[in-house]
Amino acid sequence: MNAIDTAIRAAAADINLAGVTKAYDPQTIVIPPIDVELKAGEFTVVLGPSGCGKSTLLQMIAGLERVSAGKIVIGGREVQDLEPKQRGCAMVFQNYALYPHMTVFENMAYSLKVAGLAKVERAERVAGVAKMLGLSDCLSRKPGQLSGGQRQRVAIGRAIVREPGVLLFDEPLSNLDAQLRHDMRVELAELHRRIGATTVFVTHDQMEAMTLADRILILNRGRIEQFDTPKAIYHHPASVFVARFIGAPPMNILPVTADGSALCLADGQVVAETPLTGSFQLGIRPEDIVTNGNGAGRILKAMLRFREDLGSHSVLAADLAGSVIRVATPFGVDTADQPELSLNFPPSRLHLFDAETGRVMADALGA
């Protein structure tokens, strides 16, 4: 590989953050010290509510924001004091940030030109990426003559044409309509399989996170709540925050008490057996609750409030022990004329959380 090749083509790189911190002043600590290791080639989605520090984290990796403390190591190289262009990362922004006076071809070829790549090879590279992204017919147009989806593809094309080891995305799909978002999501997943760059993708859309990520990093006020596969995050949430953030409708959370033998709801109904004592928060997903008293576990009495039929399934809202819970049932299960519901909470589907910290009590119910 010659000098030009190394400037414009890199292998996927590990990203390690050690004690990385961002504080605008001593009162405004946006990211308390964070430690995280992203593996080479992995697709990480950073997910969290507005203002939790997702973009700040990404921009510190890119070099657009300075770290207040800590080390960022990309591919074995400490980069926290390097300029953005020295870090080997390419970034795609929410607002595309294309050069309006340049054609699609020029937008995509620009970084190759700056890196000193010969004209013939620039044309070859751009043509290959344009083909991959379905942009071959738009190469001579200016960004103003493209649809939102096409512009976003140009922004992605411009980032990947250099074949970077690290690709950073900041909410790249949020300006697109629902159908286009879905289509682009599929394209991005496909693209990642083909180019294999280490990818960090910021979003507040849980669907994007669940479908794109190898691992999801859930941030809450700059702290990592959980960093795991989509499946583990869904089925084994580490905290009430994660449990309620992922899933629609979200997981039901109910206050419960335990007396060394039974786990009871606020009205005394027994949910399960347990050797624990104390107060806890009990979680169960709407789709894990069984209606009509046909499932495993004790029968719990609830009163139906209303029902939404969504085509593929229905969502019932019911009063249970002073809380409103959501129950997802297959479409057509008839509960309309029975205001009193008999529900089962299968013991293997229960999640128990510490009442104070909200952290999961691992294996507390033997599930």
Ligand X SMILES: Nc1ncnc2c1ncn2[C@@H]1O[C@H](COP(=O)(O)OP(=O)(O)OP(=O)(O)O)[C@@H](O)[C@H]1O
**Residues in the site for ligand X, rule: CB under 6 A?**
24, 28, 30, 48, 50-56, 204
CB of 103 to ligand X, least distance (A): 31
CB of 65 to ligand X, least distance (A): 8
DSSP per-residue string spanning 233-265: HHHS-SBHHHHHHSSSSPPEEEEEEEESSEEEE
Residue among 66 and 305 whose Cβ is closer to ligand X: 66
Encoded tokens for 199: 């990818």
Nearest partner of 159 among 290, 62, 19, judged by Cα = 62
Residue among 52 and 327 whose Cβ is closer to ligand X: 52
Residue among 202 and 328 whose Cβ is closer to ligand X: 202
Q: How far apart are CA 205 and CA 49, in angstroms?
A: 9
Q: How far apart are CA 182 and CA 188, in angstroms?
A: 10
Q: Give SS3 for 67.
A: coil
Q: Give SS3 for 161.
A: coil
CB of 95 to ligand X, least distance (A): 12
The kind and range of the H/E element at 319 are: strand 313-320
Phi/psi at 348 (5° precision): -70, -10
Phi/psi at 276 (5° precision): -75, 160
CB of 158 to ligand X, least distance (A): 22
Q: How far, rounded to the nearest angstrom, does the alpha carbon of residue 64 sit from its chain's CA centroid?
A: 22
Q: How far apart are CA 226 and CA 233, in angstroms?
A: 7
Residue among 51 and 322 whose Cβ is closer to ligand X: 51
CB of 29 to ligand X, least distance (A): 9
Residue among 97 and 296 whose Cβ is closer to ligand X: 97
Residue among 52 and 216 whose Cβ is closer to ligand X: 52
Contact 33, 69 (CB under 8 A): yes
CB of 62 to ligand X, least distance (A): 12
